[in-house]
Structure 1
Amino acid sequence: MELYISTIKEFIDKGEIVDAIVDNLHLIHDNKDSREYVINRISDFLNTLQDDLTILVETEYVDKVYRDCYYTLYSTKLREYYRNCVRISFFTPEFNEQTEITVENIEKIKNAYRGFLVIRPLAECCIGRNVISPSAKNKKFPGMCICKASIPSTCMGIKMRVSGFPHSSQDGEMMSCAETTVWSILEYFGNKYSEYRPVMPSDILAALKPFAYERQLPSGGLSFEQISSALKNQGFGCKVYEQTNPMFKELFTCYIESGIPLAVCIQTKEFGHAVVCVGRNETNRTVIDSAGTFNIMGGNYYVWNKSIENFIFNDDNYPSYQHTTFKKPTAYYNSIDWDSGEITHFIVPLHPKVYLDGELAIKASNYLAIRKLKIPEMSVIRTFLASNRTYREYIMRNPDMTEEAKSVYLQIDMPKFVWVTEISDKDSFLNNKVNCLILLDATGSNIDNEGYSSLLFYQKRDAGTFFNKKNRWFENIPLSLPSLFEAFNDNIK
């Protein structure tokens, strides 16, 4: 194994280092065009990062995902494919060529770590598994709020972790854009939650085998039904939404606000494509002014989930975290062939015990807010899903709640997930504050459109009401609650 250390800028400028990396890839077609293509792909990826980052290159790297593809497919071919990869690790300038790799410096090196990129020995599809911290991106990329998992890695024998969303390019034979989408979502959930596990490409093929009506290799891509089936096979209770749904964009935003990555199906005039939506741009709350109000049950209200336009996508044809709009999901291609791309379906990998889906939760909470709480017109409504654990932590850390009030909130019976609707007057919303609150049971019944069968708690200003399990009906809380408190913002960061 060989090591190379430099900054990104120096790396790109020093042609001999790049050539040494390509030499160590042992490309199946080691000609001028292939080498140039690989160098350009690596440069394109690195040009999305801050150029003062330090990179450490390791050759002869054994990548688990590529090895799985290698033994499933590439090792069966007549021409000999190389089975090792090259890995590039990224660090802030605090780690550089002068930093001694010693026990005393381990914590310094860990704190400087910003992710890794695996380069596969496949000329046309060299960009392999990678996880990059959003903070490593350069100024061309806006601030982003995304789903993040802490992904383990190693470098120079040191155990590292990077917070980001997994990404890879497709290899064109074993993994198309659809399989890559499924793999990255499962890699994210498998590293973030103990209920799930990361899977290999061969596991995805095995899961889809019962549904295949023709050969699976080389891959011809997947339909949205097959994407959903592959995720469902790994324990998710998937929901599929189609473009014809009148709440299509509102639901898309609602799930992103809930911190759930979405498998997104895009259709152009000529072909289909699959990507992962991992979050949205950092958005000033004044965006509700440009979106305007919406008519709900005869009244005019601001709706946060209808106001967001800019999202972050992981596309296997591009480096991670591409920002674009919902209406033009492929605008970053800057190509006539892709200009017609539009989102036709998206698949939500829900926890299997979330029986109340986003559409029903929004309808129920809107009814309760307007008919039960009688919120004034021009209020701002924001609905999202939160885990019991994360929401309780938010309550404990909320600076606007007294200890007595926190005790009341924490004693509300909640399932593993709850649907939360925050309601604010406009001025309070712009200051990240909440006036009214509705909590719905995500395991609740979906047969009551008015929401009472799923209602856990509601609050208007300082008056709160909860569902008493002993009496099996609602009971007022004999305590004044905070009439204005900090909003929840912990799902995406």
Structure 2
Amino acid sequence: MSITTIVCLPHELKDELVQIMQDEFAVSLQIAREAYEGMLEGYFCRLKAGVQFVIEYPYVDKVYRDSYYAYFSSKRRVYQKNCIRVSVFDGIVLPDQFRNAKGIASLRERYRGFMVIRPTMPHVIGRSVLSPHALQQHGFFSLMGRFPTTVNAVRFEARGFPHASQDRETLTCSETSLWAMMEYFASRYAEYKPVVPSDIIDMLKSRSSSRQIPSEGLTIEQMSFALREFGFGTIAYDRSEYSLTSFTNLLSVYVESGIPLIVVVSNVHLGGSVRHAAVIVGRSETTNADIDSLSSVEEGSAELAEMMKRKNISIEDNADIKRRFVFIDDNYPAYQIAPLESPMAYYEDDAWRKCEIMQVLVPLYPKVYLDGLEARRYIKELLLSQLFRIPSGAKLFIRIYLTSSRSYKDYLAIEDSFSDHVRNAILSMQMPKFIWVAEVSSKELIKQHKANGLIVVDATETNTIYDNALIVCCYENRFCYRKVEDNKLVNNSLSLNEFNIFTNNLKGF
């Protein structure tokens, strides 16, 4: 069976896909049209003007083939086993460009990802990776993986966060969230491998007391177990255990750390029946207006609040900025935008719009033992301690995030806004694989994406007594670090210049 390749303009796309779905999936014209108008149209109408498409069929998709052999092939109704793939390019695409080096180079620069269309009518959106830069509006920062693929027999690399719609039988929102999470991490780190639906089913056999197919969804305990078995040191947070401010602040800290989060949203506590899982993968850009509107939020820790009051020091936290966050939701096209306080704001149904985030799963590296809640508390205690000697009446801006020491040192090595003595001293320090970092700044400085104080904390150390977790802190002329050899705290006098903040996690601020 030969592969058919069609280069397609936007106004031709509907007619082409409806006809191809009708022929390839052996469905009626009406069903094909309903699938396009009900699912596909909403995806394609968000793309910016000037994009063009390349349609290829029949296409073998590894994720759908897994579901096909595990489930769909055993049904009385005949399901086709092949899919259709639509690739997206920015600008004009000509067929002969795929057959010469100059044309291929141009196409690779303008490649914006792909979408798989599977024969699970009407929920036809399969494995897809689309760049935010293909959208009409992309004023946000999102985590993106790199996915090798081909178009018309030529190698390309798709960049974006994985997405698919649920098929309501082998994949519900919880399975698609787990699949997308693993697909992303496998594209970034050699320690992780991509999974297919049957991997999730097999992993959870021992945790399920009833049949797994057709899927009725997963509990947060099952999702947490699966992530742990797939190689993460998963931690779960329940909103009922925290104030709303502390809970959303914690989520914001993890997003700032470049960690995708599985969130469970619900309106059951309000008398509704909705319970849904989605993935948070980024946030909106920070504007000067966002910073100006930020004010000090009362600390969830009574001890911290008392220390700040006693010392007359105000700490304004980057995580308290009222931003919008980026959601990967299998009911909608990728990269939906909503605030944490109203995560389903992009839904048309009022019942869904009332949903709130009730639980969150954080897929941490197994050896990250100091979680975001404790790291944030400890860092603020450090700021208020004698190590910094912050004067009474000071107003500070602080930005806290988790990152790898390799990524941070790579940034530091080429960031010449640091003084050479401070930079070389930090680069020579032994660090664990992951570190918590706090950048101390002011509202005026952070608008320039600069800071003038720094704290680096060991993410593998939960014992914060006697500052055991401290690696280095510097502010104005004070430079303090803990020696690995004898665990002593050393104070030096080194001047720290204003420096450019770290943006490697989300590739922007």
User: Is 1:396 matched with 2:413?
Assistant: yes
Label 1:37 to 1:464 Cα distance change in 2 as closer, same or farther (>3 A).
Answer: same
The SS at the match of 1:371 is coil
Distance across 2 between alignment mates of 1:162 and 1:389: 25
User: Is 1:242 matched with 2:242?
Assistant: no
Matches within 5 A, 1:198-213: 198-213=194-209
User: Is 1:122 matched with 2:125?
Assistant: no
* Structure 1 position 439, deviation (Å): 0.6
User: Is 1:78 matched with 2:81?
Assistant: no
Structure 2 alignment gaps of length 5 or more: 299-304
> C-alpha root-mean-square deviation of aligned residues, in Å?
1.7
Distance across 2 between alignment mates of 1:25 and 1:49: 25
Distance across 1 between alignment mates of 2:373 and 2:358: 17
* Structure 1 position 404, deviation (Å): 4.1
Residues 166-207 of structure 1: CA deviation (Å, up to 9, x unaligned)? 000001100100000000000000111011111111001111
Distance across 1 between alignment mates of 2:46 and 2:84: 19
Whether contact under 8 Å (1:142, 1:282) holds in the other structure is no
- In structure 1, what is the equivalent of residue 319 of structure 2? 305
Matches within 5 A, 1:45-444: 45-97=43-95, 99=97, 101-138=99-136, 141-244=137-240, 245-246=242-243, 247-268=246-267, 269-295=272-298, 296=305, 297=307, 298=309, 299-372=313-386, 373-376=388-391, 377-444=394-461
Distance across 1 between alignment mates of 2:94 and 2:41: 20
* Structure 1 position 309, deviation (Å): 2.9
The residue type paired with residue 335 of structure 1 is D
The SS at the match of 2:231 is coil
Residues 224-277 of structure 1: CA deviation (Å, up to 9, x unaligned)? 111111111101001111112232111100000000000010002212000000
TM-score by length of 2: 0.91
Whether contact under 8 Å (1:6, 1:97) holds in the other structure is no
- In structure 1, what is the equivalent of residue 476 of structure 2? 461
Whether contact under 8 Å (1:95, 1:108) holds in the other structure is no
Distance across 1 between alignment mates of 2:285 and 2:93: 29
Residues 358-417 of structure 1: CA deviation (Å, up to 9, x unaligned)? 001000000001123133532101110011111011101213124443221201221000
- In structure 2, what is the equivalent of residue 4 of structure 1? 6
The residue type paired with residue 112 of structure 1 is R
Structure 1 alignment gaps of length 5 or more: none
Whether contact under 8 Å (1:24, 1:86) holds in the other structure is no
The SS at the match of 2:293 is helix
Residues 6-63 of structure 1: CA deviation (Å, up to 9, x unaligned)? 2224424xx2x23332134314xx2344222211122211111113111100010000
Distance across 2 between alignment mates of 1:97 and 1:44: 27
The residue type paired with residue 228 of structure 2 is K
Distance across 2 between alignment mates of 1:348 and 1:285: 29
Runs of 4+ with >6 A deviation: none
The residue type paired with residue 362 of structure 1 is R
The SS at the match of 1:90 is strand
User: Is 1:31 matched with 2:48?
Assistant: no
Label 1:357 to 1:74 Cα distance change in 2 as closer, same or farther (>3 A).
Answer: same
Distance across 1 between alignment mates of 2:397 and 2:133: 31
Distance across 2 between alignment mates of 1:10 and 1:97: 16
Whether contact under 8 Å (2:257, 2:402) holds in the other structure is yes
The SS at the match of 2:183 is helix
Whether contact under 8 Å (1:388, 1:414) holds in the other structure is yes
Distance across 2 between alignment mates of 1:216 and 1:25: 29
Whether contact under 8 Å (1:302, 1:379) holds in the other structure is yes
Label 1:332 to 1:454 Cα distance change in 2 as closer, same or farther (>3 A).
Answer: same
Whether contact under 8 Å (1:400, 1:482) holds in the other structure is no
Distance across 2 between alignment mates of 1:336 and 1:185: 28
Whether contact under 8 Å (1:2, 1:59) holds in the other structure is yes
* Structure 1 position 158, deviation (Å): 1.4
The residue type paired with residue 484 of structure 2 is K
* Structure 1 position 100, deviation (Å): 5.2
